[in-house]
Amino acid sequence: MGDFDNYMEANKDLWDKLARIHHKSEFYDVAGFLKGGQTLDPIELEELPDLSGKKILHLQCHFGMDTLSLARLGAEITGVDFSPEAIELARELSKRARVDARFICSNIYDLPDNLDDIFDIVFTSGGVIMWLPDLERWARIIAGFLKSGGFFYIREFHPFAYIFDNGERVTHLQVKYPYFQDREPLRFEDEGSYASGDEKTGKIPSFEWNHSVSRIINCVIDAGMKIDFFHEFPETSYKALPFMVQTESGRWILPENQDKIPLMFSLKATKCD
């Protein structure tokens, strides 16, 4: 196997473990979801148009809560993830919630071989592009699944926010990681995640890539899409840095005495003819 395959295999092992742990976690609150809850981020609910009757491809769908939430808004939905555990849990959740959805287990980079279909919208969100080594190819694959006039939407953690040290004892913004990253990934060996609480995965190596804003935007343009908007937000949906404080609405921000930086972004782009 080459480096690319090794990185993908290692990341898949991690996500297989995390899928099981996340499914039981307080953070994801599956019980609340089964009572009819909506898991889409408030930014997504505000920025997306009426989805009823729209055919949507959800990339990196994890175990399907956002996928099924999109279906609850009236979309005809297909979720894709490369973790077999996540896809199994997503199919189970779809049955338990009585919400129709199609789930496909595939690496995004293999998706053109595993899915022959065309969509009104391609959607992805919340911790996705840092797992992808080749953003040019990712954007071309997205454009390939969109019908002309269809759109791509992403709400994602901001790459600028990823350059800061997130070690347990850090009290302010301290640069640790690169913003302009070449093709070599960062290697991590964490034992938990943003949602795993006290449950540990054990030490599993994982590989991540920080993609700059200009790379994200140019990849989308080069793949034949026209940017409708790009927004940045000084708040995020999880405690990304140990000194962040939580707002009344449940968002995480930097403390009052620290300068604001962008913590999330959203982008919508329409496929040109």
Ligand X SMILES: C[S@@+](CC[C@H](N)C(=O)[O-])C[C@H]1O[C@@H](n2cnc3c(N)ncnc32)[C@H](O)[C@@H]1O
42 binds ligand X (CB under 6 A): no
Q: At what angle do helices 84-97 and 65-72 cross, to 10 degrees?
A: 40
> According to CB under 6 A, which one of 82, 123, 162, 265 is a site residue for ligand X?
82
- Only one of the segments 79-87, 90-98, 139-147, 183-191 lies at the binding site for ligand X (rule: CB under 6 A); that segment is 79-87
Give the tokens for residue 110: 């293999």
Tokens 């994801």 -> residue: 28
Strand residue runs (E) in the chain? 55-59, 76-81, 102-105, 119-125, 146-157, 186-188, 206-208, 225-233, 245-246, 252-253, 264-271
Strand partners, 105: 81
Torsion of CA 86, 87, 91, 94, to 10 degrees: 60
Q: Which residue lies nearer to ligand X by CB, 92 or 258? A: 92
83 binds ligand X (CB under 6 A): yes
Least distance in Å: CB of 226 to ligand X?
25
11 binds ligand X (CB under 6 A): yes
Least distance in Å: CB of 19 to ligand X?
6
Angle at 202 between CA 199 and CA 205, to 5 degrees: 125
Q: Which residue lies nearer to ligand X by CB, 4 or 229? A: 4
Contacts of 155 (CB under 8 A, 6+ apart): 41, 43, 44, 47, 125, 126, 264, 265, 266
Q: What would the x/- binding string for ligand X be over residues 125 to 164, using CB under 6 A? A: xxxx--xx--------------------------------
Question: Are 72 and 40 spatial neighbours (Cβ–Cβ below 8 Å)?
Answer: no
94 binds ligand X (CB under 6 A): no
> According to CB under 6 A, which one of 30, 65, 121, 267 is a site residue for ligand X?
65
Tell me how many residues contact ligand X (CB under 6 A).
19
15 binds ligand X (CB under 6 A): yes
> According to CB under 6 A, which one of 93, 108, 129, 269 is a site residue for ligand X?
108
62 binds ligand X (CB under 6 A): yes
Element (H, E) at 44: helix 42-47
Note the residues at the interface with ligand X (CB under 6 A). 8, 11, 15, 60, 62, 65-66, 81-83, 86, 107-108, 125-128, 131-132
